[in-house]
Structure 1
């Protein structure tokens, strides 16, 4: 009856009739409202499992070095001789580059442009474990047998060793991951619950949330855990700026995907960013497309800036700042365009009378919870008013509720209060003690009376 009335009203107003839901949607609406909501969210764990397997397991199950750049100090002929030996031993693994001086080669190692450098003048292999621990350990072991076959026994010098509080160079990886997750989650919840909010409000939430996350992560990583020694202010500012940039990008995306914002956000800023960042393994060790993505994912920019602050290695701040500004700008553009797109889509849905399955499930669950609350209250002689207050049902109106007026209520006691309760007591027979004497004759005499 209600549906017919609404349909007639809509037709009389000149609007289009409400579209009839499909067979599957009609069946799904017959399920318990809470079950409907659960079912409509099960895509998230499924997506997480698939994304984890396709990105993390696929990227890390068998990292293999390929085209790893190695600097050789001296003429191009010396580099060619070493390249020939390496191609015979490990084809496709090492790509030798000639550098004119040892200083240039060492600088290339510290900047991350090459994995290691070899100087034939003093038969030394220069590494920088603070930039890439795995490279500093594996590449010298790869080229040493080739050099020994040529009659050279090289020594290894670490230009930037890792400190004791970060023995394997993983601190930058996990800091980067915490900032990425913090940035996308702040904006994700804005997209899920704050669609009608103004741009200024959204950006304020992202800025404040980013500051809090930056403060918490750096306090925990530094003073609390001791994984980072000093550099608190620059790390706080870098984290804050990156979280804002990521938050702006996810906020812009949320206008177009709605409650599914977690899907693109996790793909871009977690599943693809972490294995492609170079934090766990360098791009020279990763399969495609992760090796190519190293140049564009936020994890790469964050990691290189972290290594520059903490250990003075890496390409510097320019690449990271450029990436940060690009993501922030993209987010602002998507935010401006997406707001209008979302409003137009919302108006079209309202005018056409269309709803989503999730909105219908939310409404059904809300009605169910209200009815369940009223039922629970009525069983205990209570009723909820339209203003939200809870009142006691008068005793003379409780007949239909199964309240006999004598048992009262488990929360409030008898209808008239505890003072009017009549205690259902009966005389208690007292048996005299068979002990020879009593320590309290007066009490025993009184009890006998």
Structure 2
């Protein structure tokens, strides 16, 4: 494959305005050290590579580093390197769908296939030993009663989410908050009503403290908005970690901050004014989402230094697979199995859902818990960035010095070479060739042949390209003698060779060769040297 060289100007075979050939300029000598041309600069007084100061101040030649041992390549890796480069790249990325389906089954299916109440807190105003004994006998381990002296305090705890429901035996009344947890507000009052009627008490009156609006009938909007924020935050940082390894910290953080603002504006605009799932609170939700996306992005960015291109795995584990079942958006923590019930205290999903519900419906804990969790994740990300950058640089220089590569790097190198060969082959099929400077020139008639590799419509050719003949076919040369135009102006439209695509003739090449003697230009080659 021919690649353009940086020290030779391109298109130097084209004529200048005066009709004369362009002179090739010599490559400019490098006047700066390589380290000063990039982003990093050497410290003042730092010794030049290859020398070290001695006691007298003069530079002394350092000892040459030992030659590293050659990298040991396993038989499997040797066999894998014989596959098609595109197949190598595809195979090295198949871990992601496998990881996704395994994580989905272990987290989502396991968490939601059979939710069952356990240790559900019930606020009991006053005392009712008969009800407590009946519930513990009929439903052991499912409900825990907490005695309250004040009905107002019991209602506040129900709205805050620390209590599932509140029951006042003196008035035979149950209080619930559907806006905080729809499943709890539906299941727990029905269960307690059944127990009360079983011990001879009339069905209690159910009072709604925080009803759900018509546009969020089942209370799932907060969960899905939280999921959109989480996915947007970790995906921005994930691509930074995969493709932005050498970037500085401030560049990465700038991308995370700006990307977080854009994602926050888009998600809240779609969920609110466009879809109507949320009414009002647009500015507040934009700020909350922005803070969470930045915190998640910083955490994922810090992890990316340690896991590289596999950053999608820990990011999805922390912010999707574990966060969503433990968030309390679908089912409360009192209905989830372990470890999801305990993870409700530490995952970002629970704090995000609580902040959304508190902002929209006025239920759940205040913003303090969410802000503390947000700050902890952001601080953890900054710490990981600080130490991860140094660790990543040590790994990078070790790989450069030892010459070690990964299977993915080898596959990328092989794929680049394959694409370059296919580019040259495609140019040759059209009667063109690429020079060392990247300039395209036309092949001679004897050197050009459109030979396609056999194949079928399903598998294609052995080279991976289509097997049909090209519609353009041979690209002839239109010479200056055959072009009409002003001849008095140097460098005008009539100077220099030009090419244009033309339909390829269906006649066999033998007949075309028999007529070659009748042409005026004979067997002269096409291209820029046609006149020689």
Contact kept? 2:299, 2:382, Cα under 8 Å: yes
| d(CA) in 1 for partners of 2:504, 2:135 | 98
Runs of at least 5 residues in structure 2 that lack an aligned partner in the other structure = 1-63, 452-468, 484-501, 506-532
Deviations 1:148-206 (A, max 9, x none): 22423201111000000000001000000000000000000001000100000000010
2:460 maps to none
Instruction: Give the aligned length.
Output: 405
Shift in alpha-carbon separation, 1:13–1:102, aligned structure 2, 3 A: closer
Tell me whether 1:220 sits opposite 2:270 in the alignment.
Answer: yes
Look up the match of 2:315. 265
SS at match of 1:48: helix
8 Å contact 1:129–1:136 — kept in the other structure? Answer: yes
Work out whether 1:339 is the aligned partner of 2:389. Answer: yes
Looking at structure 1, the residues matched to 300 and 375 of structure 2 have their Cα atoms a distance apart, in angstroms, of 14
- Within a 5 Å distance, the mapping from 1:274-293 to structure 2 comes to 274-293=324-343
The residue that corresponds to 1:179 in the other structure is: 229
Residue in 1 aligned with 2:112? Answer: 60
Question: Aligned to 1:270, what secondary structure does the other structure show?
Answer: helix
Which 4+ runs in 1 deviate beyond 6 A? 417-424
Say if 2:77 is the partner of 1:15. Answer: no
Alignment of 1:415 with 2:477, yes or no, is yes
Quote the offset at 1:81 in angstroms: 3.2
2: distance between equivalents of 1:71 and 1:162? 22
Q: Secondary structure at the match of 2:447?
A: helix
Residues 430 and 475 in structure 2, CA contact (< 8 A), matched pair in contact too: no
Residue number among 84, 103, 112 corresponding to 1:32 in the alignment = 84
Match in the other structure for 1:118: 167
**SS of residue paired to 2:478:** coil
User: Normalising to structure 1: TM-score of the pair?
Assistant: 0.86
Residues 471 and 503, structure 2, Cα contact 8 Å, conserved in 1: no
Q: Counterparts of 1:293 and 1:84 in 2: how far apart (Å)?
A: 31
1:237: which partner in 2? 287
Deviations for 1:256-315, whole angstroms, at most 9, x for unmatched residues? 000000000000000000000000000000000000000000000100000000100001
- Does 2:448 match 1:401? yes
Deviation at 1:403, TM superposition (A): 7.0
In structure 1, distance between residues paired with 2:376 and 2:242: 24
Mark the CA change 1:388 to 1:315 in structure 2 (over 3 Å): closer, same or farther.
farther
**Secondary structure at 1:126's aligned position in 2?**
strand
Q: Pick from 185, 188, 196 the counterpart of residue 136 of structure 1.
A: 185
| Residues 115-135 of structure 1: CA deviation (Å, up to 9, x unaligned) | 000112221100000000000
Give the direction of change, closer, same or farther, for the CA distance of 1:13–1:101 in structure 2 (3 Å limit). closer
**Residues 1:319 and 2:381 aligned together:** no
Query: Cα deviations across residues 331-385 of structure 1 (Å, max 9, x unaligned)?
Result: 0000000000000011111111110000000000011001111100111012334
Is residue 474–residue 503 contact of structure 2 (8 Å, CA) maintained in 1?
no
> Secondary structure at the residue paired with 1:81?
helix
How far the C-alpha of 1:392 sits from its partner, in A, is: 3.6
Which protein is richer in helix relative to its size? 1
Give the Å deviation of 1:423.
12
Residue 18 of structure 1, CA deviation: 2.5
The match for 1:43 among 88, 91, 95 is 95
Paired residues of 2:122 and 2:163 also in contact (CA < 8 A)? yes
CA contact (8 A) 1:191 1:255 kept: yes
